[in-house]
Structure 1
Amino acid sequence: MVRSKPPSKKKQRGVDFNKIKRKIGRKLPPPKNATNTEIKSKAIILPEQSVASDKAGLAVSKKGLTLKELLQQTSHHNAKVRKDALIGIKDLVRKHPAELKLHKLAIVEKLRERISDENKSVREMLYQLLKEVIFPGSKEDIPGPFISLIMVYIFNAMTHLSIDIRLMAFKFFDLVVQHYPSSFLMYAEKVLQNYEDILRKNQTYLQDRGKLKSALVGLVRGLSLLPCNERKADSSDEKVLDTQRTLHAFELEVPMKHTGISSTIKKLEDLMPVLVNCFLEFTSSVRQMPVLETQSFDCMQCALQSIDLVCKFFFYGTNKHQTAYDGSYAMACGENAMPVFLRKLLEVFPLNSKQDVSEKDHDRYFILNAGITEIFLHFSGWNCTHAILMEKFLEFMETSVSGQISCNTRSSKALREKHLVSLLQFFPKLLSQITGNWKSRLLQAFTKAFKDCKTESSLKLACLSVIKEMLLPSRMQGTLLLDATDTEILDHQITWIRELPLLLLQFGDKHLSSSKVVLHLLLRLAQFAPMNSSLAWEYENMQHSLRDFYCTCLDKGSICYGPFIKLPRDCQELSICCLYYFSSLDSLMLRALSCCCLSNNLEPFVLFRIIEVLQSAYKAGHVQIADHLSFFVTLLACFRVYPENFYPSSGNDEKILNHGTFKAITSAICSCLSQMGDDNLVLQTLEKIIVDEISLNLPLVNKCALLRMLVVLDSKPTRLSEQSIIKLSKSLSEYLIDAASSIPENDDGSSDSVRLRNCVYLLIPCFFLFDRSDKLLNLVLDLMGSSLGENYSSVEYAFDLSRKICAISSVLLFMYKDVKIQRRLLLCQVSVNRILHNILFQSSTETNMPLEQRQRIQSAVDQLQSATSRLYC
């Protein structure tokens, strides 16, 4: 077999050009011998040709953009550019506030387009820009055009197809309402319509409760601006409890061109069932969860607050709108006039009363149940509610108020107290209309809460306001809400009354509003408690426990002042007025009041009010005459004038600390004495007391005040007894010498007019007594003369003798200047001559007396002899 030949291998020859295979679609590279036409150059920058030269003097952002450029970029197709533009505007306006004032409307007109921006971060950035910069910077300007510009785009966003944009629009509206509250009333009808639409469609985003919360929070804020006459726990009883605006004010505040009142009310009526359904939907979804999530709780709470605010609008408004509201919902509810949709809300009450939930969930369910209860109690027809449902509410009220619901943390207790304050306002009406065992149980729960709650808590203040309404007749109706003849109710009322003085001591001067409420309550109780009733008797017995509120006089003479001294004037005025209504003010209470009057911390106005009220109480027969006079004597004898030497070294009488006040007190007391009836009987009661007090070592001004009391009660001729005249003469001789000696002389030996007037003020009461009794004048002159007959040989005595001689000479000179006393001195020539003889004898025999003192004595003797010679010639 022939073998086949293998293929022959031919040697390849050298190849001059290799053929390169190119792939289809690839661009051919340039040939190697191609000419490079690229030109490289550098720009020449000239300062006068820079773009920055066009922005010289303009406000620019960190990136060098002007406000106009930034506003243009807010419409850029790129979301990041739009957001950066908003950030730039924020920085520029903060750095240059004048730009906002100049271009406010232009800025808002451009920014409002971003309210419906599809990008969430852009909308959030716009919200922050408006909240932190635009609205605060435009607060002082008139918001009319400003609001109208932005509200058009907000309403447009509220009807957007995107749920996120719609909900964000409500957030923008809430921001507008925060800064311009009147905007809600201006656009109420349209806003409520949009809220109704968004809440009807809440099924689509129940899972994202945070979005719905933003809309509900704005609704709550807007509804809180609705006018109403909501009743408040006001501490002032002199003002009618009508501090909120009425629906008539609503009509005046919201022009008809913006919205019709009737259409706004209709929108509120349409919104109510939507809010209730929204709340019920959340309730049904929450029941399927082991815990109450924060977002769910917030949404439910906002829904309840909205329902409550609408109820307040209708049921605390005028009768006109309340009747319209009740009539519009007078559906087939049997005996109950409550709307059907609200009855559905009440059927789920109480929410989740299980015991296996956390403390936090307990608090949240309590807040929701308290909200439902408050809505329930707003309705006038609640007392016709089905018995089983009514039992639920009464049981919740009892357990809540009495504290049977456990609170383990401080925050939990504070939270529950806050909501109990809102519920307590319904207690008077509730107790006046329920019957049977529940009235007793609620009264016990309320009394327990009143006694157990802390002194400084808001719950204590709320309890006091409720007590005021249940204890006293209504000022509007003039009748008691509770039957005072019911012994069980009376027992609780007595318990409340007995707590009031203790509360005043506990409040002290730290809780002024609470103290004022208690004092108002005491005053109203004193004014309106029926005579000879148990309540009036309790007020009378309160005097002993109330005494410590003013002052406590301890056995060792020390004084412990009560809260009365440190309270403001209005509280002091209330407590003073309470004194008038005690049928018999005892001596211990008057002693406490006198201690308060003697305190340096008491204002003069309050002191005079005490004197005035006690004088009125005396005229009404509430103060015994002996106690009343003892109060006056104590006040004048113990009041301390500062400085005790009331002659200033310079200046005038007005610069003395409280001498003018004491003069006014003396005049007021003397005026009261002149109005007390028979002066002779009053003098017989006071004579010995005043004479004894004057004989004590009292300051001159106090002795002068007591002498003025005698002058007011005495007559001419004097009615003072001989024993009093003898005892008084010794005191007056020393008093006159001390009064004249207290006048300091100038360097030239003269005395200024102010000091002389003060001396005359001290001497005048004595001159009145001398004019009425020659015997008293003779005794005083004899005692002054005999006081110069003593002889001692010492330098100290010589100085005292010189002072005494000058003082006696001054007293006699003052007597010579008084016309009435001049006539009396003619009958006392022997006593005057004895004084002159003793003065001359002592001045001539005294060897230890300095030359200066001798000269002063000689000057006084010369003046006295000259005046005597003129008198007897």
Structure 2
Amino acid sequence: MAGPKGKKQQKRGVDFKKIKRKIGKKLPPAKNATNTEIKSKAIILPEQSVASEKAGLAVNKRGLTLKELLQQTSHYSSKVRKEALLGIKDLFKKYPEELRLHKYAVIEKLRERIGDDDDRVARETLHELFKSVIHADCKEDNQELFVSLMMPYIFNAMTHLAIDVRLMAFTFLELVIQYHPPSFFLYAEKILQSFEDILRRNQFYLEDKKKLKTALAGLGQCLSLLPCNKREVSSLEKNDAGQRMLHAFEPDLPAKSAGCSVIIPKLKDLVPVLVNCFQDFIPEVQRGSLLDQQSFDCMLSILHSINLAVKFFFYMTDEGKLESRPSQEGLDVTMLTISMTLLKKLLVLFPLNMTNQLSEKDDVEYFGLNAELTEIFLYLSKWICPPAILLEKVLEFLENSLLRKICPDTRIGKALEKREKWKKREKKEKQERQEKQLKHLISLLPFVPKLVSQVPDDWKSRLLQAFTEAFKDCNHVSPLKLACLSIMEEMLVPRQDVVYLDPSVPEIFDFQIAWIRELPMLLILMGDKNPSCSQVVLHLLLRLGQRSLMNSSFAWEYDNMQFSLQPFFSNQNDGDSPFVKLPRDSQELSLCCLLYFSHLDSLLLKSIADCCLCPHLEHHVLFRIIEVLHSSYKSGHIQIADHISFLITLLSSFSVFPGTSDKKEFIESDVNISKESDVIILNRKALKSLTRIVQSCLSEMGDNSLVFQMLEKVILEQMSQIPPLDNLCAMLRMLITLDSKATIISQQAFISLGNILPWYLIDIVHCTAEEDKMVPGSICSSACCYYLTPCFVLFDKSHELLNVVLKTLGSWITKSSLACLTPDQTRYTTEISSKVDAVVSVLQLMHKDNKIWQIISSFKAEIDCILESIIVLQSSKEISMTIEERHMVQCALGRLRTLHSGMQSV
């Protein structure tokens, strides 16, 4: 039933009200949502920023510390790793102390990246970091510890599946061995095995020869460390490269080098692998194709490695004396096997050439390959008997190499013509090709002596002729000249009873004489420009001199050599002689060569004397020259007259004043007084030492009276020229040395000494007076005794000589004596007042010696004459003198009267 119409229906409650929302409009938060917003003020504390935390720490340009950079080297991104390595390099260059403090920690961390297989650039960056920064700083540190840290990771990378990682490991190995060569012998077995493994996988380098070149470079460096002479072989056992290894880091490291016992079998396996690698290039050569530079480099590296291995075996069997090496028979069997392999697969290809026209560059490259093959063949000839046709080819190649017929456009050591027409790049390439050819040619020279002694006579002459032309043709600064000198010594002076050339054969002797005659000219030409080569020449000359004692043919040629050596000792163009410019050890070799001349000519002695008087010659060298020449004199190689003349020349011409012999010129020059005075004092000491040495030599020459008769005339002639004070004193001392027992001076000598000694005494007075003026060349009054002693000895022996000197001094005061003075006798002054003062000063010096003054007292008439001459001079009106000059004369007169009064009381 329906309800009443007027009653309204009751509304129901709504739980959720649907709200229409616009699309994209953000919903408001729910009414019951919790407000999680926190509002607070910022709290600022000091030292909380990242930059402030690194204050005072070493950082790179990106603001990263060493610790952060090392952590980034392990990042998954190769780019980050690379940037970290560059950052470490930048930090170490900016802060070197960081590397020194954390060196080994850095190495321990960075070595992990050697086998990085993700990025080649990162590996190369790591290699550059080690090469340019870390290795350079580790030179003086514990190298063994560094090696122990690096080698396990390098070997691990060598077994990596990726070929690029393996090759990069060999590059790191090359770097380690370069900075610490003994490390090769510690790990020789593993290293050689790794090289063998990588070279057997030839599929990679046939496509990319650059990879093969990388591996061969490291192998060549390792094999170059193998001993190849007796000294190196015997020292190998003593060189315990691992004795200071810190094994706490790597417990599995070898404690001691295994020596050559493990190297020999490994090399035996490695050589055939290298031969197979080389044969892979042969088809391309035989087709006449033009090879690229990388192919040439790889072929040359392979042959060079084979050559080093063969050379090692050769010296192990020929000279090596290792207790740990295999038996001689075992080595011979090994080498016989290797020799047959090389002969069948390698040497049969000699010489390598192309049928088409070669460029100069390719010509030089093929020359290098053939030179290596030639060297291998000559070493192997000890174990195999090569076919005659192969031997003929080798000899022709060697002859043509010496005569430069292989690369005629690149003559070694000669100035390149028309350089101005070439571009800079072409010049550089030309020079590099010449250096390559020169290097290969020098490697062949050591075989010349033995070949000459073994080949038939026709080839003997051809090889000697080619060698002689090569020696004469190359420039004196070329390394080829030095190499030829070394080989020449073997053929001129045999060692250990091994005679390569018999000088009794006229043709051979002619070549030997031609070589000997080239040596003096070469020595003069080189001088001090190439000291090492000059020393080799001098050593060879010394050996020739020693052999000349046993070979009359060489003795005659050696004696004639002294005429060519004169320019070597004499000063050239007012400059120092080549002898003076050489190092001390080379000078000693030069002097030792003089001992083997059977007769020293006077012209050579004159040149040597000229050299002795050079101001730049060290004094101990001068004394050594005298010692050598005096020894030659006692051996009968120098005539007594020549020897005396040499000694007198030294005493009379030795200059105390550096750079000039004119005292006045030197005194007036603008010089540093104290410095020049020190030089003069040193020179005076040297002259005094020289005088003593000459006196000792004269006393050993025989009877003093006979020696005196021989030198009296010569020495008086030198003294009559009034030389400087020190030289005159030296010659006077030479006289009194020979006149020590009895007076043997002739009448003519008395006359000469009577004219010389007055000027000598005046010199002493003036040099003593100059001391107060601080003039270079002055002598202190206490040193006057050294200069006066020769005069006083002569006066004591001959009172007549003293009388002559007093009369000469008195005659100088008279007015007429001034007109008689020669230019040489006016070296100080011509003022009469100065002469009066000097004469009186001489008498005062004599007064200080009681014995001489007692002798003078017997010549009162001469002293009275001097006194009266001064009095007359003082009162004379004909001679005009200034007030100062008259005062000087008055003072001198007073001093003389005092002496005169003392004489009367005697």
Give the TM-score band, short-chain normalised: 0.7 to 0.9
State how 1:443-842 maps to structure 2 within 5 Å: 443-474=464-495, 477-531=496-550, 533-551=552-570, 562-642=577-657, 645=663, 656=680, 658-744=683-769, 755-790=780-815, 800-825=831-856, 827-842=858-873
8 A Cα contact 1:653 1:754, kept in partner: no
- In structure 2, the residue corresponding to 1:352 is in which secondary structure? coil
Compared CA separation, residues 650 and 843, structure 1 to 2 (3 A): farther
- Give the CA deviation at 1:157: 2.5
TM-score scaled by length of structure 2: 0.81
CA distance in 1: counterparts of 2:469 and 2:593, whole angstroms: 27
- Give the CA deviation at 1:367: 1.0
CA distance in 1: counterparts of 2:875 and 2:305, whole angstroms: 103
Compared CA separation, residues 707 and 224, structure 1 to 2 (3 A): same
CA distance in 2: counterparts of 1:47 and 1:149, whole angstroms: 49
8 A Cα contact 1:432 1:481, kept in partner: yes
CA distance in 2: counterparts of 1:433 and 1:793, whole angstroms: 85
Compared CA separation, residues 839 and 416, structure 1 to 2 (3 A): same
Compared CA separation, residues 632 and 51, structure 1 to 2 (3 A): closer
CA distance in 2: counterparts of 1:527 and 1:552, whole angstroms: 28
CA distance in 2: counterparts of 1:243 and 1:866, whole angstroms: 87
- In structure 2, the residue corresponding to 1:249 is in which secondary structure? coil
- In structure 2, the residue corresponding to 1:719 is in which secondary structure? coil
- Give the CA deviation at 1:465: 1.1
The match for 2:386 is 385
- Give the CA deviation at 1:478: 4.5
Compared CA separation, residues 737 and 307, structure 1 to 2 (3 A): same
1:206 and 2:206 correspond: yes
Which 10-residue stretch deviates more, 650-659 or 528-537?
A: 650-659
| C-alpha RMSD of matched pairs (Å) | 3.9
The match for 2:255 is 257
- In structure 2, the residue corresponding to 1:357 is in which secondary structure? coil
CA distance in 2: counterparts of 1:808 and 1:179, whole angstroms: 77
Which 10-residue stretch deviates more, 574-583 or 130-139?
A: 130-139
The match for 1:440 is 461
CA distance in 1: counterparts of 2:447 and 2:770, whole angstroms: 75
Which 10-residue stretch deviates more, 510-519 or 123-132?
A: 123-132
1:869 and 2:894 correspond: no
- Give the CA deviation at 1:217: 0.9
- Which amino acid is 1:296 matched to? S
CA distance in 1: counterparts of 2:109 and 2:174, whole angstroms: 19
The match for 1:248 is 237
Cα shift readout 1:365-388 (whole Å, capped 9, x = no counterpart):
111111222233334606843322
- Which amino acid is 2:499 matched to? L
8 A Cα contact 2:363 2:407, kept in partner: no
Compared CA separation, residues 383 and 835, structure 1 to 2 (3 A): farther
- Give the CA deviation at 1:853: 1.7
- Give the CA deviation at 1:710: 1.7
- Give the CA deviation at 1:868: 0.8
8 A Cα contact 2:368 2:437, kept in partner: yes
- Which amino acid is 1:271 matched to? L
- Which amino acid is 1:56 matched to? E
- Give the CA deviation at 1:105: 3.0
CA distance in 2: counterparts of 1:402 and 1:86, whole angstroms: 53
CA distance in 2: counterparts of 1:113 and 1:565, whole angstroms: 58
Which 10-residue stretch deviates more, 405-414 or 205-214?
A: 405-414
CA distance in 2: counterparts of 1:70 and 1:723, whole angstroms: 97
CA distance in 1: counterparts of 2:725 and 2:511, whole angstroms: 55
CA distance in 2: counterparts of 1:354 and 1:163, whole angstroms: 37
- Give the CA deviation at 1:397: 1.0
1:164 and 2:164 correspond: yes
The match for 1:152 is 152
CA distance in 2: counterparts of 1:765 and 1:809, whole angstroms: 20
CA distance in 2: counterparts of 1:45 and 1:136, whole angstroms: 55
Which 10-residue stretch deviates more, 503-512 or 441-450?
A: 503-512
TM-score scaled by length of structure 1: 0.84
State how 1:70-469 maps to structure 2 within 5 Å: 74=73, 79-80=78-79, 82-84=81-83, 86-87=85-86, 90-91=89-90, 101-102=101-102, 104-105=104-105, 108-109=108-109, 112-113=112-113, 115-136=115-136, 141-144=141-144, 146-229=146-229, 242=231, 246-250=235-239, 257=255, 260-261=258-259, 262-288=261-287, 290-317=289-316, 319-320=320-321, 324=326, 327-328=329-330, 330-331=332-333, 338-341=339-342, 344-352=345-353, 354=355, 356-379=357-380, 381=382, 384-409=385-410, 410-411=430-431, 412-469=433-490
- Give the CA deviation at 1:229: 2.8
- Give the CA deviation at 1:329: 5.5
8 A Cα contact 2:559 2:598, kept in partner: yes
8 A Cα contact 2:836 2:889, kept in partner: no
Compared CA separation, residues 78 and 93, structure 1 to 2 (3 A): same
CA distance in 2: counterparts of 1:371 and 1:222, whole angstroms: 18
- Which amino acid is 1:813 matched to? Q
Where does structure 1 lack aligned partners over 5 or more consecutive residues? 1-30, 231-241
- Give the CA deviation at 1:226: 3.1
Cα shift readout 1:285-335 (whole Å, capped 9, x = no counterpart):
44335112222122222222222222343333553359848634545999x
CA distance in 1: counterparts of 2:67 and 2:517, whole angstroms: 73
CA distance in 2: counterparts of 1:693 and 1:349, whole angstroms: 74
CA distance in 2: counterparts of 1:565 and 1:96, whole angstroms: 47
8 A Cα contact 1:346 1:372, kept in partner: yes
Compared CA separation, residues 143 and 618, structure 1 to 2 (3 A): closer
The match for 2:424 is none
Compared CA separation, residues 343 and 776, structure 1 to 2 (3 A): farther
Corresponding residue pairs, total: 819
Q: Percent identity?
A: 48
8 A Cα contact 1:314 1:325, kept in partner: no
8 A Cα contact 2:605 2:646, kept in partner: yes
Cα shift readout 1:847-873 (whole Å, capped 9, x = no counterpart):
7453422431232223311331243xx
Compared CA separation, residues 442 and 838, structure 1 to 2 (3 A): same
Compared CA separation, residues 864 and 271, structure 1 to 2 (3 A): same
CA distance in 1: counterparts of 2:493 and 2:126, whole angstroms: 56
Where does structure 2 lack aligned partners over 5 or more consecutive residues? 1-19, 30-36, 246-253, 411-429, 668-672
- Which amino acid is 1:429 matched to? K
CA distance in 1: counterparts of 2:888 and 2:830, whole angstroms: 7
Compared CA separation, residues 854 and 258, structure 1 to 2 (3 A): closer
The match for 1:56 is 53
The match for 2:415 is none
Compared CA separation, residues 641 and 163, structure 1 to 2 (3 A): closer
CA distance in 2: counterparts of 1:316 and 1:39, whole angstroms: 96
Which 10-residue stretch deviates more, 839-848 or 533-542?
A: 839-848
1:853 to 876, 888, 898: 888
